[in-house]
């Protein structure tokens, strides 16, 4: 994929994620979503089991597995359907994808420029801190436009 296409994709995803900002702070109920919704509806484990064509003990296990993170997405989706709910799955970045890229670009640029600065210092060609900052920003912008294959390697 071309860098310009990646940039467009990041912009589109950032727009989508902006609508999901509230999800970052959303905490599941203490008993888990399945049990909380089931109980709020006044549905027994046996009744939910019948809807899912599983036993009541399986419902208890599913609710425990949800809390531990062991329940599969497929099973969560099926349980949500049985509860007349929509299953929503998302990986929501903490910051904009563009900001994540920029932060990594600055990190890589700093590493690359530190090597150059050391060589220049040995040759008595020290650059002012203002000039260093300008070079860092230019290098970071260049890395944003054309990230190397090892951009995310540490």
Write the pLDDT tens digit of every residue in 19-43. 998 888 889 999 999 999 999 999 9
Structural domain for 34, as ranges: 21-82
| C-alpha to C-alpha distance for 154 and 132, rounded to whole angstroms | 22
30 and 74 both lie in a single domain: yes
102 and 140 both lie in a single domain: yes
Q: What is the pTM of this model?
A: 0.76
Contact 20, 91 (CB under 8 A): no
| C-alpha to C-alpha distance for 85 and 150, rounded to whole angstroms | 43
Whether the predicted pLDDT of 154 surpasses 90: no
40 within domain boundaries:
yes
8 within domain boundaries:
no
42 and 65 both lie in a single domain: yes
| C-alpha to C-alpha distance for 13 and 11, rounded to whole angstroms | 6
Whether the predicted pLDDT of 127 surpasses 80: no
76 and 128 both lie in a single domain: no
Please classify residue 67 by burial: count the beta carbons closer than 10 Å to its beta carbon, then call 0-12 exposed, 13-18 middle and 19+ buried: middle
132 and 108 both lie in a single domain: yes
77 and 102 both lie in a single domain: no
101 and 69 both lie in a single domain: no
CATH number of the domain encompassing residue 46:
1.10.260
Write the pLDDT tens digit of every residue in 48-67. 999 999 999 999 999 999 99
Distance linking the first and last C-alpha atoms of the chain: 22
Show which of 31, 50, 82 is a domain's final residue.
82
Structurally, the chain folds into a number of domains equal to: 2
Calculate the average pLDDT of the chain. 91
pLDDT score of 120: 53
Contact 62, 75 (CB under 8 A): yes
Write the pLDDT tens digit of every residue in 134-150. 999 999 999 999 999 99
2 within domain boundaries:
no
């Amino acid at each position: 994929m071309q860098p310009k296409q990646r940039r467009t994709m990041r912009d589109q995803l950032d727009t989508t994620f902006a609508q999901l900002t509230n999800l970052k702070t959303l905490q599941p109920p203490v008993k888990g979503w399945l049990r909380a919704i089931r109980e709020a509806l006044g549905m027994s484990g046996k009744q939910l089991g019948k809807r899912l064509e599983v036993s009541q003990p399986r419902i208890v296990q599913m609710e425990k597995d949800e809390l531990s993170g062991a329940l599969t997405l497929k099973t969560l989706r099926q349980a949500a359907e049985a509860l007349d709910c929509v299953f929503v799955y998302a990986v929501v970045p903490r910051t904009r994808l563009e900001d994540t890229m920029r932060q990594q670009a600055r990190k890589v640029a700093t590493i690359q420029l530190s090597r150059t600065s050391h060589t220049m210092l040995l040759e008595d060609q020290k650059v002012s801190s203002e000039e260093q900052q300008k070079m860092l920003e230019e290098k970071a912008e260049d890395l944003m436009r054309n990230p190397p294959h090892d951009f995310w390697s540490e």
